Amino acid sequence: MSISFKTVSAVLAGICLTSVAFQAEAQDRLRDASKGLFLVGTALPTRAFSDLITTDIVSQDFNRLTCENEMKFDATEPSEGNFRFEQGDTLVNFAEKYGMEVHGHTFLWHSQTPQWVFQNPNDGRPLRDVVLQRLENHIRALMTHWKGKIKTWDVCNECFEDNGSPRGFSPWRQAIGDDYMEQAFRIAAKVADELGEKDVLLAYNDFNMYKPGKVQAVVKMVNDFKAKGVRIDAIGMQAHWQSNDDPSIETIEAAFKAYAATGCKIIISEMDVNTRNGFRNSGRGLERDDSVQGNADSSADALAKRYGELFDLFVKYHKDIYAVTVWGLDDGTSWLRGGAPLLFSSTDPKTNERGITPKPCYYSVLESLKKGQAALKK
């Protein structure tokens, strides 16, 4: 009798963690079911890669990965010119081993960026030039280190308010000026060209990307860039949403139409669907909001219905959508504590022991993908 590596690792995982990773044939996993539609991804912290149950599931269900924090500015360049790539490498190496694509997140963001980036060296150069040079050094270092290994990059993250005006708090905008996003995209495109990275997709990424004010502002920016010859290839919708009808399918669909009309690919980049009433899943985490009612709360079936409807919509727009990434694997490790927003629970409801277990919403997503795939074959 021959014993496969997978069997051994599942057995080992069972011994080490008193539970066995979820088992199902390839055709009943998200990775296979999504082929021909779009890539399916998840976001993980470095520690996830030392957990055999997590890695076993991730390698079978997903074909795309994002570092939850490890490629952000503070993690990769904590002080000027001092680059740290080890944690990102852990994810990139895993992705390579299992034939997955990697999403790079993110170059320019107001958050998780060290203070030194914006400090004035007072050496006679205008602060704008200094900060642009630092941004260029940063982008060049990361794109060079991960040349050929990262397919999509978030060049700018969260730069608009919901009503479409420029984000109020942005040290980048303050230091560089109103054209800071354009400059960031120009730099990323220049470096990509220098490195011969023709197929890399350069993206703008944000939350609440369904809100009409934001849709208008992003479409305007993209069209403006294109008119000026500034490369932008993809629009990332974070998709931190609610399990009730907020945002509605119609609202999301209207945003898809508007984004697709720019010629950019759409990336659903950070999906999680909050089930907790009285809390809003905003781009800043779960925030108290008494008006949020009608969520699924602990009703796994309502969440399954919502995930199914959302994926049916993604399938409908599969030609425009490059990838769908859920922001984490299991509820217990999600950044939205108490929101139970993901496709897997962290404990097995049957035994109450630790064991990453697919929730009903996992199966509704699987069904939606399978239906979509079957329609492609007709």
Residues engaged in binding ligand XIL (CB under 6 A): 68-69, 157, 238, 270, 283, 335
Task: Name the residue whose CB lies closest to ligand XIL.
Answer: 335
Helix axes 249-260, 212-228, angle to 10 degrees: 10
Judged by beta carbon, residue 29 or residue 105, the one nearer ligand XIL is 105
Strands 240-242 and 265-274: parallel
Min. distance of Cβ 286 from ligand XIL in angstroms? 11
Does 182 participate in catalysis according to the annotation?
Answer: no
Catalytic residue among 68, 70, 77, 158: 158
CB neighbours of 247 closer than 8 A, spacing ≥ 6?
210, 241
Min. distance of Cβ 213 from ligand XIL in angstroms? 19
CB neighbours of 156 closer than 8 A, spacing ≥ 6?
106, 107, 108, 109, 181, 184, 185, 204, 205
Give the whole-angstrom CA distance, residue 250 versus residue 225: 28
Judged by beta carbon, residue 225 or residue 327, the one nearer ligand XIL is 327
**Kind plus residue range of the DSSP H or E element containing 205:** strand 201-206
Min. distance of Cβ 246 from ligand XIL in angstroms? 18
CB neighbours of 22 closer than 8 A, spacing ≥ 6?
57, 344, 355, 356, 357, 358
Cβ atoms of residues 151 and 200 within 8 Å: yes
Q: What is the 3-state secondary structure (H, E, C) of 156-186?
A: EECCECCCCCECCCCHHHHHHCCCHHHHHHH
Min. distance of Cβ 333 from ligand XIL in angstroms? 9
Task: Give the number of other Cβ atoms within 10 Å of residue 313's Cβ.
Answer: 16
Catalytic residue among 68, 70, 182, 270: 270
Judged by beta carbon, residue 85 or residue 335, the one nearer ligand XIL is 335
Judged by beta carbon, residue 113 or residue 373, the one nearer ligand XIL is 113
Min. distance of Cβ 323 from ligand XIL in angstroms? 15
Judged by beta carbon, residue 304 or residue 327, the one nearer ligand XIL is 327
Does 158 participate in catalysis according to the annotation?
Answer: yes
Report residue 274 as tokens.
């909050």
Judged by beta carbon, residue 342 or residue 366, the one nearer ligand XIL is 342
Judged by beta carbon, residue 177 or residue 283, the one nearer ligand XIL is 283
Give the whole-angstrom CA distance, residue 232 versus residue 45: 27
Rounded to 5 degrees, φ, ψ at 336 are -95, 75
Min. distance of Cβ 82 from ligand XIL in angstroms? 21
CA distances from 223 to 160, 188, 217, 232 (A): 16, 18, 10, 10
Asked if the peptide bond before residue 106 counts as cis, ω within 30 degrees of 0, the response is yes
Residues that are catalytic: 158, 270
